[in-house]
Structure 1
């Protein structure tokens, strides 16, 4: 039973840690970001399993984490406020020629990340961009000038 409780707590701790790290999507993660996430998971696994290295404990952990994920998803559907806490909200970081440096700092985003998204949208210059928005999943959406 303690394995199940530890797994549930570990899920919540990892969820909180991922929210604190920021919202870089997997394709934008630097190797350092990926290493940190793996280390978090590895560190918590030994705390979750403790000395119980049985197959039953491992299966219990997997099912507990799966059920926690389903429960959080259900809560997000029922409560938009909870969804904003867990997933965040879109954030405008560039608006009509002005960078919002404070927001970028909070999100740990660099101008070069935004410029990569600009180029991926077929634009070449920042002057062609009306808005750059960091979505909940960390993706940078670009709204070009002239789009209404």
Structure 2
């Protein structure tokens, strides 16, 4: 039982006391260098990087056979790869199409597009919740609900919108 509660040696505690602050400050610096994208609302590949970062930080702090240098090198490489990919996405439509999902129209003129919602596995409850969060109380007040690439729902109330608006051009379903 004591093996579950206490480390094998005092050296393990010292290693954690040293590695945790070093890893923390290094990751903060890496995130700052890699830009806001690393901590923004996440799409699929941002999520993968975030989960991997958490695992690498934990490994560098807890595991004796993973050195701080190895963990920091892996973290730096992962963030550099994310930076390269996001740079390619901005420059190449082909890479963007491979890496990122398209936004999808889920509600049009107050009517839930059941086929689109089902395909995206978004329930009517989730749509109605987003409508409420947007300060509206009825689907009849909604022109469009769009599932964005980061899985957030954008609710656009009924106004003088035109489907030719630039921001709506890449939404699947228009």
After TM superposition, the score normalised by the length of structure 2 is 0.53
Q: Is the 8 A contact 2:111 2:139 kept in 1?
A: no
Q: Greater relative contact order: 1 or 2 (C-alpha under 8 angstroms, separation 6 or more)?
A: 1
Distance in 1, matches of 2:133 and 2:120, equals 20
Cα distance, 1:106–1:118 mapped onto 2, change above 3 Å: same
Partner-residue secondary structure (3-state), 1:59: helix
Confirm whether residue 129 of structure 1 aligns to residue 137 of structure 2: no
* Aligned-pair CA distance for 1:82: 1.6
Match of 2:90 in 1: 77
Structure 1 unaligned residues grouped into runs of 5+ = 1-17, 21-25, 27-36
Structure 2 unaligned residues grouped into runs of 5+ = 1-42, 162-174
Distance in 2, matches of 1:93 and 1:53, equals 46
Q: Number of paired residues? A: 111
Query: How far does the alpha carbon of each residue in 1:84-125 deviate from its partner, in whole angstroms, 9 at most, with x for none?
Result: 332211100111243222322232211111111211222111
Structure of greater Rg: 2
Cα distance, 1:58–1:140 mapped onto 2, change above 3 Å: same
After TM superposition, the score normalised by the length of structure 1 is 0.61
Partner-residue secondary structure (3-state), 1:138: coil
Distance in 2, matches of 1:106 and 1:57, equals 42
